[in-house]
Structure 1
Amino acid sequence: MRKRYSNIEKLIKQIKGKNTKDQPQKFSNVDWQPFSTNINENEKTLKQQLGTSKDILFTKFTINLQNGDALNAMVVAIDGLIDEEAKRNNILKPLIAHPLQEKPNDDLKQIRERISVKKVTVVDNLLKAVYQVLKAKALLIVDGFNKGLLLSIEGYEVRSIEEPVTEQAVRGAREGFIESTGVNISLLRRRISHPSLRFETMEIGKYSQTGITMAYLKDIVDPDLVQRVKERLNEIKVDSIDSSGDIEQLIEDHPYSIFPTIGNTERTDKAAALLMEGRVLLLIDGNPVSLYVPNLFLESFQNVEDYNSRPYYSSFIRIMRFFAFIVSISLPALYITALNFNKALIPSDMIVPIIQARETVPFPLAMEVIMMILMFEVVREAGVRLPKQIGSALSIVGALILGDVSVSAGLVGAPTIVVVSISYIAAFVITPIADVTALVRIGLFIASSVFGSYGLCIASLALLTHMVSLTSLGVPYMAPFSPSHFKDWKDGLIRLPTKLLKQRPKSIPNGRSRRIKSLPDTGDKR
């Protein structure tokens, strides 16, 4: 029996990826290898590391000294990643045109003073220099010295700053993040011109070497939150990071939940506002979508444009978003509950038309509704994935044809089309959690179709219990409702006038609770 149980334990360990016989994989982003004082040996090592591709440039030249001696030198760079004009005018010409007065010291100070680039870094690790060359740096090597110079002359093409397609606003900024972290940092600097704004960059991924920049306001953010984010990022040991979604799923508290506990945005004004509340922002190099923590469920119903409009209409729209969320997830479930289990809930004037509409339908009601839900999901997904011109036409015409032909052929009842259509249209109001809404809708519908109103109530309570148990980097996901922070409710379901929002939300840990110190006396005329 003991042998049998040991085999079972071994199988479980293999499934979990914890087989003790497996050799642990060593992740080392940068190994150590010193420069040689012989420039030819350095060139040979670099070619072994980088290969002999046509885009790898080895530019050799000579640096003359006033005493008549000459030093062989070489600039290593990747074509297309650096600015060739800056390389020629700011590095090669200053070193070739005028002889150096004396031989450079060990730190190549005389050469560093002669060239003019954004940043010059002395490096003594050849393999580290290789990784930096692959990140759009140029490497200057001089014969006889066991150190090199990393030069910042990036010159690759970047996309122009545009308004994010998925977060458009009628009244607001028209700029969004792009794929360049340097540009994104400058956009945040323009919005928050304070020395408390800090950026910390680390590289994750053995092969991708993806730059992850953590942004926060030192005077406002909770230091414990910053530390938790740092620890989780430092614990990531993977081969590559392909998108912001990889980081999101690797550091969140509940990776198996359908609810996103880490937020994302492409808008610079929204990102700046989040930083001012005490959030931590993550900028991923090569990706225009930034992540932020903590993220609350309430924020799915808020929009950056709410703060650019009058508070009354903004409050009305927020209430409508909550109502649309409830309708979207529960309407199909209520429909099948009323028809199959609790017909007394249906008004008497509507019973006869609904029964007549379903007389020719050959399928049970549950099958009819789930077929339409899945078909609407197919049409929506096709509209998203197809080219814009075709996708918009398909999402409109396809849905109309699908509904009209299905009813005419007697495959689906008209009330079912109306119920499913309203459910999907309501989901368009809350696009940040549209995927969550689709899954919850199906879950509640299945529970209702099997157990009726009892199943709907139990499934709803289970969903609410799950949501209350979620956290976003240690911050309760359902705050300010659970736990209750009543002062935060003035910017929750409704939005009170800006004058009354003097305190930062208590739902978000921060080190500076007051954000409005004084306001002009306008007499508060009502």
Structure 2
Amino acid sequence: MGSYNNVHRVIKRLQGKKKKQEAQHSDSSHNDSLSPNLEENVTAIKQILGNSPDVRIRSITIPLTKNKKIKAVVLSIDGIIDQQAIREHVIRPLKEEPIDDVGELLDAIQQRIYINEVTVTKALKESLPKVLKGNTLLLVDGLTEGLLINASKYESRSIEESEAEQTIQGARDGFIESLQVNISLIRQRIADPHLHFETFEIGEITRTTVVIGYMSHIVDDALVERVRTRLQDIKVDSIESSGDIEQHIEDHPYSIFPTIGNTERPDVAVSALLDGRVIILINGTPVCLYVPYLFIESLKNVEDYHSRPYYTSLIRIIRFFAFVISTTFPAIYMAALNFHKEMIPSDMIVPVVQAREAVPFPLTLEIIITIIMFEVIREAGVRLPQHIGAAFSIVGALILGEVAVAAGLFGAPTIIIVSISFIAAFVITPITDVTALLRLLFFIGSSLFGAYGLFVMLLAILTHMVSLTSLGVPYMSPLSPFYLRDLKDTIVKFPKRWLTHRPQSIPNKKPKKVESLPETGGKQ
């Protein structure tokens, strides 16, 4: 009997807690709604937003019929709204002629406002974040509803070519920090109703606007749903750049290889859309992300699609060998000199050995110090102002290298090998950071076990690359898995007439992209 009473007491206590929580929730939702008392709403706004100098609360008087008047408040954030539009299209129409208050007063006020995007709101706490993003809130005394008026106007820089992705024959415009402008740059190039955009708001504090874009009749629906789900699952305080989104949604966040592409060029983003990819635009950054992204695209450049296929194929082959040279040259030099001297031609071995005799450091330490020195010079050249950085990168490397060799601190062959390795990395700028890490990994394996260690590291990296995916799409496509048709636009590029289908590596619903071309008589 006693145990029964105890259980009954616990149940009653739980029911009491539940009722209390429901009452608290009801009170909080009630406090969140707008009050019919205008002064109470203004006081609540000041308590939430504080005394910030950019918060503008303007009191106005709206004339009604029969010589009546009613008080109202216009809340906006200075600097992110079009003040002239608010004066000309909101305040002036409301004050010029009396408003008939026989019917719904809020509807009559809304009809007087000459701005298209006006929405009705009932909750104060839900309205204030929208005010902070460029909306204007109109509150009227005696009404429990307000109007959110979109008259935002952000300062932005002019459209100009991206410094990181310059081209000779391509377009000269680039994305900027304004999301609306970036969407318009894509709309200018794709006048098709199948181009769809979806908006997300991510970040509990920053409430950053993120937009995904895709061609609904081309893109694979599963890919869109995958991107949409991952963006919705991001629950963080802030999103500050495209890199935050990239690291939150990628399949392999701990890999050194980037599996999400990025660009500052609208034409590259449009090309990605037409291939069946999904693009991601973030408000406040000029970088557009796109998925899926394949490794082979690191060897491509936007200029490739504006040039003849023969020279483009040659340059792509050079880029591939530049990637191999950049990552393996120091490791091969280390293996040859310390483990496999038979690899060095007989005419070269005497000068190389003589150059090493005066050096006080072991070969491993010498190469590591040289690599670090070049990395420091490269980083300093990037971080310094542009007109100083370029000169510093060239002059600093030359002077340090020459002085180090003259002083006998480093051997000339070491400086040459590391220099070639670094210069080759600049040919493949999308993965320069990856080549720097691979260079060290391969060198460590080579310094420990010679050529055997180098090949083991190569095998491990290739195995890792084959296992990667980009939003579910194999990262090493079209090589693994193998798609013969896609080889027309990989290491070599075939003529445009041969590229009649979209890549099989990218899932899509419309494989064919060229229906017919004019006859040329079969001339070669």
* Match of residue 178, structure 1, among 169, 176, 179: 176
Taking the TM superposition and a 5 Å limit, the aligned residue runs for 1:121-520 are 121-520=119-518
Report the more deviating stretch, 65-74 or 419-428. Answer: 65-74
**CA–CA separation in structure 2 for the residues paired with 1:46 and 1:183:** 32
1:108-164 CA-to-partner distances (Å, cap 9, x unmatched) read 222222111241111112111100000011111111111111111112211111111
Kept in 2: contact 1:77–1:136 (CA 8 A): yes
The alpha-carbon deviation at position 100 of structure 1 amounts to 1.4
**CA–CA separation in structure 1 for the residues paired with 2:75 and 2:440:** 57
The yes-or-no answer on 1:64 pairing with 2:79 is: no
**CA–CA separation in structure 2 for the residues paired with 1:109 and 1:404:** 79
1:353-408 CA-to-partner distances (Å, cap 9, x unmatched) read 11111110011111111110010000000111111122111101100011100100
**CA–CA separation in structure 2 for the residues paired with 1:498 and 1:31:** 61
Partner SS for 1:212: strand
Kept in 2: contact 1:65–1:103 (CA 8 A): no
**CA–CA separation in structure 2 for the residues paired with 1:504 and 1:350:** 50
The alpha-carbon deviation at position 519 of structure 1 amounts to 0.9
Kept in 2: contact 1:158–1:179 (CA 8 A): yes
**CA–CA separation in structure 2 for the residues paired with 1:383 and 1:46:** 48
Q: 1:31 to 1:211 in 2, by over 3 A?
A: farther
Residue aligning to 1:10 = none
Partner SS for 2:425: helix
Q: TM-score, normalised by structure 2?
A: 0.93
Kept in 2: contact 1:161–1:178 (CA 8 A): yes
**CA–CA separation in structure 2 for the residues paired with 1:208 and 1:103:** 42
**CA–CA separation in structure 2 for the residues paired with 1:364 and 1:270:** 47
Kept in 2: contact 1:31–1:128 (CA 8 A): no
The alpha-carbon deviation at position 104 of structure 1 amounts to 5.5
The yes-or-no answer on 1:120 pairing with 2:123 is: no
Letter of the 2:39 counterpart = N
The alpha-carbon deviation at position 101 of structure 1 amounts to 2.9
Kept in 2: contact 1:179–1:286 (CA 8 A): yes
CA RMSD of aligned residues (A): 1.2
1:38-85 CA-to-partner distances (Å, cap 9, x unmatched) read 111111111111112121011111111222211211110000011111
Letter of the 1:120 counterpart = V
Q: 1:363 to 1:123 in 2, by over 3 A?
A: same
The yes-or-no answer on 1:48 pairing with 2:54 is: no
The alpha-carbon deviation at position 518 of structure 1 amounts to 1.1
Partner SS for 1:198: strand
Partner SS for 1:165: coil
**CA–CA separation in structure 2 for the residues paired with 1:498 and 1:109:** 58
The alpha-carbon deviation at position 423 of structure 1 amounts to 0.3
The yes-or-no answer on 1:105 pairing with 2:98 is: no
Task: Look at both structures and tell me which one has the larger radius of gyration over its CA atoms.
Answer: 2
The alpha-carbon deviation at position 103 of structure 1 amounts to 4.6
Partner SS for 1:61: strand
Kept in 2: contact 1:62–1:96 (CA 8 A): yes
**CA–CA separation in structure 1 for the residues paired with 2:267 and 2:122:** 41
**CA–CA separation in structure 1 for the residues paired with 2:225 and 2:483:** 25
Letter of the 1:50 counterpart = L
Residue aligning to 1:39 = 38
Residue aligning to 1:16 = none
Report the more deviating stretch, 111-120 or 163-172. Answer: 111-120
**CA–CA separation in structure 2 for the residues paired with 1:197 and 1:223:** 14
Residue aligning to 1:88 = 87
Q: 1:48 to 1:365 in 2, by over 3 A?
A: same
**CA–CA separation in structure 2 for the residues paired with 1:104 and 1:152:** 25
1:238-272 CA-to-partner distances (Å, cap 9, x unmatched) read 11111111111111110110001111111000001
* Moved beyond 4 Å, runs of 4+: none
Gaps of 5+ in 2: 1-27
Partner SS for 1:240: coil
Residue aligning to 1:24 = none
**CA–CA separation in structure 1 for the residues paired with 2:145 and 2:153:** 24
Letter of the 1:151 counterpart = I
**CA–CA separation in structure 1 for the residues paired with 2:258 and 2:123:** 41
The alpha-carbon deviation at position 335 of structure 1 amounts to 0.5
Partner SS for 1:483: coil
Q: 1:31 to 1:181 in 2, by over 3 A?
A: farther
Kept in 2: contact 1:118–1:153 (CA 8 A): no
Letter of the 2:365 counterpart = M
Q: 1:518 to 1:411 in 2, by over 3 A?
A: same
Residue aligning to 1:79 = 78
Letter of the 1:257 counterpart = S
Partner SS for 1:166: coil
Identity across the alignment (%): 57
Letter of the 2:317 counterpart = I
Q: 1:319 to 1:31 in 2, by over 3 A?
A: farther
Partner SS for 2:449: helix
Partner SS for 2:192: coil
Q: 1:91 to 1:250 in 2, by over 3 A?
A: same
